[in-house]
């Protein structure tokens, strides 16, 4: 959790703060990651790597039916295996208190609500012995008929009260039907996206240890403080009796956004055995226990006048949730603020199936929603005979449609214009299917994207020490994005000291409440707290000086965030794609990708570039590869590993060109920082789909764009 940036001279904090060289700005400069050496040499420890004395290992047994109840569990079959210490199931598991997330109430009854649900846990001296015991455990079921297929005519379809995180499920204004009747150009199409799984490099893991009534867990998560809150509620503990440490985290993409199954079961097993226990998920188990992107079926209806001005925008999104916990993805919310339409309806429908609970996956809602909306805008441009970029610019709003709220900043038009220049869009022949290189058909496409740039309350403590150094403590989580480095840059500038005088400590719930590394809110929220603490510390040092034990200041941004003006705060981007399509096989290859973004103050250009490229690379996967395939007969995902679940490999990814427009948005937070982790994926799949149409003349309204779909006749 500690990061020391370099060797230090001996200067007092007051001397450090007053040095002229200390005013050198580090935010906006290309600084290498401060934890790079620790990671490449193996010094960085992840949740499943902390060495503890007397450590035992838990292995999960998961259901092999999609719906039913447990008839019996033969403990003797597991205890017969060497090294097995305990078997925990619904008959002997500790009773838990509902923390507001029913997916965490593990082993509490005999009901099976989806394939892959945890039905037992075997604990042994080694991981191999625990696995052997788990494989030997005999579980019998009373199986019931299951329902796992999302359909728009499902008899249990309903409109939820809200969609993630708290948007109204439906928003409308104006007379949609009247606008359609009078429009010169109309479009009515359906779009589909499949279930997708996050698959971070590091599988979920947790190591739990009890010391009397005090619990310490080493957990792989995107927010140690929120995990602490959940564990305290689950096990009926005071919050200060729980400490969650998430020093290094190997990716998450939303799947580690809140507490997950390993944290609950490792804690339960550790208390039962009175010794430390580690629970790690296999890659296959992650497909059922950590969340995924829901499949969607979306209807988009657009109507425009003869000039291309939108008269009606109607976006209806169907998605699924589980029988355990209602989670409704905000798929159609992006349509509410993206374009100026005279009338609008944006609505959601949901059905609870016998499936695992969907959760967050990079740009939840916006990524699948943009595929439908931005594909539809491209189709409308074709019907209206207007360039797709110009159609978007024609419909650029000055205030948020429907509410009249202003934007803290918005320069989507600049992204489109600059991207068109970099991509060479002016040379494009609008007609589809006219460019070729031998057997390859060549096409280009564009799409726009946006993602909210919000802030959440966060606490930060900065301590000035007598040796002239400063320690920054904040419960931020570095999930591979470079948070240690970026926050060090922010703190150095806020304190006006050289960055080598800082020690940054992250991922410890004892440091107080902080926003998770998610929702593109992490760096912005954490930076706000750091800047506030730094200003207060500088003031106190100048007024009162430094005592023998140093000086410590804690800042909390709760009141500041609550007092923020009511504006629409977003990041924006435009993606451009060139594809090559084999006319014989239907294979699609990406030749070029260009992305231009506007996202406030860029803290570290080299890391920002990586984030944008990562998002666009994930967009390639979304467009061409990713698809979790449900076996309807059994209720099981059949491609539940990285052999069957395809993602973009090196050969699939061309040289991606990214850039950003300078943006000074002091209405977002004091640092002008916006999130960039998710906006890169938002428009990418639609840009690729639009490029495939331009190459072939065939619209791709279902992801992924497989060769068989490309070869189908018709438009």
Q: What are the residue numbers of the active site? A: 678
- Would you say the C-alpha torsion 393, 399, 400, 404 has a positive or negative sign? negative
For tokens 């991509």, what's the residue?
423
Say if strands 277-280 and 205-211 run parallel, antiparallel, or are unpaired.
Answer: antiparallel
CA distance 462 to 551: 8
Query: What's 627-638 look like in SS3?
Result: CECEECCCCEEC
CA distance 536 to 530: 10
Q: Which helix or strand (DSSP H or E) is residue 508 part of? A: none
CB 390 within 8 A of CB 368: no
CA distance 321 to 351: 6
Q: For the CA atoms of 354, 357, 362, 365, what is the dihedral angle to 10 degrees?
A: 70
CA distance 393 to 399: 14
Q: How far is CA 685 from CA 237, 252, 325, 616, in A?
A: 45, 21, 29, 9
For tokens 């799949």, what's the residue?
685
Query: What's 130-179 look like in SS3?
Result: HHHHHHHCEEEEEECCCCCCCCCCCCCCECCCEECCCEECEEEECCHHHH
Q: How far is CA 335 from CA 16, 154, 370, 448, in A?
A: 50, 25, 8, 12
For tokens 């991207």, what's the residue?
419
What is the crossing angle of helices 605-624 and 366-384, to 10°?
A: 70
What is the crossing angle of helices 483-495 and 522-544, to 10°?
A: 30
- The residues, any chain, with a CB within 8 Å of residue 20's CB and separated by 6 or more, are none
CB 353 within 8 A of CB 185: no
Longest dimension (CA), the chain: 79
CA distance 421 to 576: 11
Exposed / middle / buried, residue 295 (Cβ in 10 Å: 0-12, 13-18, 19+): buried
CB 599 within 8 A of CB 679: yes
- The residues, any chain, with a CB within 8 Å of residue 643's CB and separated by 6 or more, are none
CA distance 609 to 611: 5
Q: Is the peptide bond before 704 cis (omega within 30 degrees of 0)?
A: yes
Three-state DSSP at 194 gives coil
Q: How far is CA 403 from CA 13, 96, 164, 407, 677, in A?
A: 49, 43, 20, 11, 27
Bridge partners, 196 (sequence order): 293
359 is written with which tokens? 């959760």
Counting every residue written for the chain, the total comes to: 715
CB 159 within 8 A of CB 273: no
């Amino acid at each position: 959790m500690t990061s020391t940036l370099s060797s230090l001279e001996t200067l007092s904090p007051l001397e450090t703060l007053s040095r002229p060289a200390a005013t050198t700005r580090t935010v906006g400069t290309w600084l290498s990651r401060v934890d790079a050496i620790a990671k490449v040499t193996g010094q960085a420890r992840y949740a499943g790597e902390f060495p503890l004395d007397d450590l035992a290992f838990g292995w999960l047994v998961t259901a092999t039916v999609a719906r039913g109840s447990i008839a019996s569990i033969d403990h003797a079959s597991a205890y017969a295996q060497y090294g097995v210490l305990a078997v925990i199931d619904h008959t002997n598991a500790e009773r838990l208190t509902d923390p507001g997330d029913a997916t965490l109430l593990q082993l509490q009854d005999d009901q099976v609500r989806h394939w892959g649900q945890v039905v037992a846990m075997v604990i042994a001296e080694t991981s191999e012995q625990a696995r052997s015991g788990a494989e030997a455990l005999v579980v019998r079921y009373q199986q019931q008929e299951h329902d796992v297929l999302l359909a728009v005519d499902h008899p249990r379809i309903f409109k939820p009260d809200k969609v993630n995180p708290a948007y109204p499920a439906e928003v409308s204004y104006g007379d949609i039907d009247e606008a359609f009747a009078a429009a010169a150009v109309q479009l009515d199409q359906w779009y589909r996206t499949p279930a997708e799984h996050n698959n971070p490099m590091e599988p979920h893991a947790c190591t739990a240890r009890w010391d009397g009534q005090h619990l310490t867990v080493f957990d792989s998560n995107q927010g140690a403080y929120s995990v602490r809150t959940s564990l305290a509620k689950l096990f009926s503990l005071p919050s200060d009796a729980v400490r969650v440490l998430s020093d290094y985290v190997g990716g998450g993409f939303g799947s580690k956004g809140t507490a997950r199954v390993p944290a609950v079961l490792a804690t339960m097993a550790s208390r039962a055995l009175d010794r430390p226990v580690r629970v790690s998920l296999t890659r296959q188990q992650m497909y059922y226990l950590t969340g995924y992107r829901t499949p969607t079926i979306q209807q988009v209806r657009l109507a425009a006048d003869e000039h291309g001005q939108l008269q009606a925008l109607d976006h209806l999104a169907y998605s699924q949730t589980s029988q355990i916990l209602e989670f409704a993805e905000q798929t159609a919310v992006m349509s509410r603020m993206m374009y100026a339409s005279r009338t609008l309806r944006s609505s959601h429908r949901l059905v609870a199936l016998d499936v695992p609970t969907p959760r967050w996956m990079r740009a939840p809602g916006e990524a699948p929603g943009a595929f439908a909306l931005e594909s539809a805008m491209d189709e409308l441009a074709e019907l209206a005979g207007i360039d797709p970029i110009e159609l978007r610019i024609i419909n650029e709003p000055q205030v948020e449609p429907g509410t009249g709220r202003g934007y803290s900043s918005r320069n989507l038009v600049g992204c489109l214009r600059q991207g068109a220049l970099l991509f060479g869009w002016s040379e494009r022949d609008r007609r589809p299917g006219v460019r070729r290189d031998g057997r390859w058909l060549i096409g280009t496409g564009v799409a726009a994207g946006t993602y909210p740039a919000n802030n959440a309350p966060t606490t930060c403590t900065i301590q000035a020490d007598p040796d002239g150094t400063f320690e920054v403590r904040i419960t931020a989580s570095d999930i591979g994005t470079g948070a240690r480095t970026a926050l060090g840059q922010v703190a150095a500038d806020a304190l006006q000291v050289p960055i080598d005088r800082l020690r940054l400590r992250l991922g410890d719930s004892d440091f107080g409440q902080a926003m998770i590394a998610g929702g593109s809110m992490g760096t912005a929220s954490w930076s706000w707290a750091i800047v506030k603490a730094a200003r207060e510390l500088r003031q106190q040092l100048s007024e009162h000086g430094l005592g023998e034990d140093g000086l410590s200041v804690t800042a909390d941004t709760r009141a500041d965030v609550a007092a923020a003006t009511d504006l629409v705060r977003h990041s924006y981007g435009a993606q451009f794609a060139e594809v090559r399509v084999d006319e014989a096989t239907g294979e699609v290859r990406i030749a070029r990708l260009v992305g231009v973004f506007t996202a406030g103050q860029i803290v570290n250009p080299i890391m920002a570039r990586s984030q944008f490229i990562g998002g666009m690379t994930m967009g390639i996967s979304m467009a061409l590869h990713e698809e979790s395939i449900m076996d309807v007969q059994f209720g099981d995902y059949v491609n539940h590993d990285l052999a069957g679940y395809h993602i973009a490999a090196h050969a699939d990814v061309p040289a991606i060109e990214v850039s950003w427009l300078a943006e000074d948005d002091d209405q977002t937070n004091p640092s002008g920082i916006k999130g960039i982790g998710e906006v890169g994926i938002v428009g990418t799949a639609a840009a690729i789909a639009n490029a495939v149409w331009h190459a072939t003349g065939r619209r791709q309204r279902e992801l992924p764009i497989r060769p068989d779909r490309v070869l189908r006749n018709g438009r």
